[in-house]
Chain A
Amino acid sequence: MTEENLVKVGMADLKILVATGSLRTTGLGSCVGLTLYDPVTKIAGMAHVMLPSASIAKEGNLNKAKYADTAIPELIEQMVQAGAVQKRFEAKMAGGAQMFAFSGNSDMMRIGPRNVEMCTELLEKLRIPIKSEDTGGNYGRTIELSSDSGMLSIRSVNKGTKEI
C-alpha cells in the first residue's frame, strides 16, 4: 500500500493527492498534521502546520502552508479545484504535542496546544467535521493518510502504530 504513490509532505508544507496512494509527514512534534478527505472523489489533502496564525509572520513571502489559518483555506481551495466537494470534507488531525515541560509556560512553549486549538476553531467555522484526532501529549508522531480509505495511521516511538 505504501509502495505506490507515497507523497511526502515536509515541515511547513501542504500537498493534495487525487490518485490512489498516501500522503505522509514525519516527525510531528508541536506541529499539527491536518488532513482533509472527500470520501466520494477520494481526493485527500495534508498540511504540516507549524504555527497557529500568520498574523505573527515577519517574513516577506508568506508560506501559507506554515500557519494554520492560511494552510486550511489553501488546502480546501486546492482540493476543490481538483474536483473535491467541500461539503463532504472530513478532517483528521494529529500532533500538537508539548515536547518539553517547563515550569514557566510561556506562549511559545505552549505552541503545540495552540496549533490544535486554532485548527479546531477554524474547522468549526468552516463546518468541516473533525472525524478523529490524536493530539497533545509529549511525544512525536509520524502520520500517513490513505487516499483509498481515508484512514489515518499514526506511528510514535513509544506507543506503536494506530489507525484513526
Chain B
Amino acid sequence: MLVYLFDHMEEFQFDVLREVGNIGAGNAATALSKLLEKPVDMMVPQVKLIPFEQIPDIVGGAEEVVIAVFLRVVGDAPGNLFFLISRESAVQLLSKVVGSQELMKALENDSLDLTELQVSALQEMGNILAGSYLSSLADFTQLSMSPTVPSLAIDMAGAILSYGLIQFGEMGEHAVLIDTTFHDGEDQVEGHFFLIPDPESFGKIFAALGVPLE
C-alpha cells in the first residue's frame, strides 16, 4: 500500500509537499536572517522522489564534506530533518555568533576539529532553525511535530544523508525528499533544509491538509 502510494503520487500531492517545505523553510529562513542580521533568500522547495544513490548529488556528491545538523522529528508525523551547510558557510555563520578565527585556521589546514563552543553554537543554530521549521509546519497541519536534541556531524554527504534514508530502505530504492535551498544573496552562506518524512507520515500529512489519499 505504501509502496503503491509512492509509485503513484499525483502532481497535486507533490504540490502539497512543496507547500509544506515552503512554510517550514520560510519560517526558518526568517529565523536565520535574524541570526545573521541580513536578508536570506529561499528558493522554491523541490520535492522529489529520488533514488538513494542520487540524493548526495544534490549537495555535490557522496564524498563532499558537509556540516550537518540532524534532528529526528517526533510526534504525529515523524521524520528526519537535516540542516546542511558547506564548511565556508559554517565559518560565516559562526563568525556572527562566536569568534571564528580558530575555525578559519582549522579550515585552512583542512582539519575539522571544532571547539566545544563552536559545536554547541552550530547545534543551537540548527535547533533554532529546525524549531522554527517544525513549529510553523505543526501550526499549518495541526499535527504535533517536535524536534529531538540536535546532533552535529561534519563528514561525507553520503555517509550523513544515508542515515536519513533507513526508514525508506525497508520499502524500496527511493525516498521522498523536501529540499529547500537558501542563501544570503552574497554567496557567503548557502545551505539546505531536507525534510524526509517517514514513509508512514505522508498519509497523515495529506489527511491533515485535506488531500484525498486515493
B3 interface contact, C-beta 8 A: yes
Instruction: Tell whether, in the assembled complex, residue A29 and residue B52 are in contact, meaning their CB atoms are under 8 Å apart.
Output: no
Instruction: Tell whether, in the assembled complex, residue A59 and residue B172 are in contact, meaning their CB atoms are under 8 Å apart.
Output: yes
Tell me how far the C-beta of B176 lies from the nearest C-beta in chain A, rounded to whole angstroms.
Answer: 15
What residue in chain A is nearest B110 (Cβ atoms)? A157
Task: Report the stretch among B16-24, B32-40, B132-140, B157-165 that lies at the interface.
Answer: B157-165
Q: In the docked arrangement, what's the CA distance between A29 and B68, Å? A: 13
Instruction: Tell whether, in the assembled complex, residue A26 and residue B172 are in contact, meaning their CB atoms are under 8 Å apart.
Output: no
Instruction: Tell whether, in the assembled complex, residue A11 and residue B171 are in contact, meaning their CB atoms are under 8 Å apart.
Output: no
- Contact of B159 (CB < 8 Å), options: A10, A56, A102, A140: A140
Known: A12-B52, A51-B170, A158-B112. A99 touches B3 (CB 8 A): no
Q: How many interface residues does chain A have, given as a range?
A: 35 or more
Q: In the docked arrangement, what's the CA distance between A29 and B157, Å? A: 9
Instruction: Tell whether, in the assembled complex, residue A142 and residue B156 are in contact, meaning their CB atoms are under 8 Å apart.
Output: yes
Instruction: Tell whether, in the assembled complex, residue B151 and residue A12 are in contact, meaning their CB atoms are under 8 Å apart.
Output: no
- Contact of A103 (CB < 8 Å), options: B149, B166, B173: B149
By DSSP majority rule, is chain B's interface helix, strand, loop, or mixed? mixed
Chain B positions within 8 Å of A13 at CB level: 53
Instruction: Tell whether, in the assembled complex, residue B170 and residue A157 are in contact, meaning their CB atoms are under 8 Å apart.
Output: no
Known: A26-B62, A58-B171. A10 touches B162 (CB 8 A): no
Q: A26, A29, A141 — which one has the most chain B CB atoms within 10 A of its CB? A: A29
Instruction: Tell whether, in the assembled complex, residue B157 and residue A111 are in contact, meaning their CB atoms are under 8 Å apart.
Output: no
Known: A26-B156, A157-B155. A100 touches B162 (CB 8 A): no
Tell me how far the C-beta of A19 lies from the nearest C-beta in chain B, rounded to whole angstroms.
Answer: 24
Q: B3, B111, B162, B165 — which one has the most chain A CB atoms within 10 A of its CB? A: B162
A15 interface contact, C-beta 8 A: no
- Contact of A50 (CB < 8 Å), options: B2, B154, B160, B162: B162
- Contact of A99 (CB < 8 Å), options: B52, B148, B155: B155
Q: B61, B62, B148 — which one has the most chain A CB atoms within 10 A of its CB? A: B62
Chain A residues with a Cβ under 8 A of chain B? 10-13, 26-31, 50-51, 56-60, 63, 66, 97, 99-104, 108, 111, 138-142, 157-158
Chain B residues with a Cβ under 8 A of chain A? 2-3, 52-53, 56, 61-63, 65, 70, 72, 111-112, 148-149, 151, 153-160, 162-163, 165-167, 169-173
11 CB < 8 A contacts A-B: A27-B156, A29-B160, A30-B162, A50-B162, A58-B170, A60-B3, A99-B155, A100-B163, A108-B167, A142-B63, A157-B154
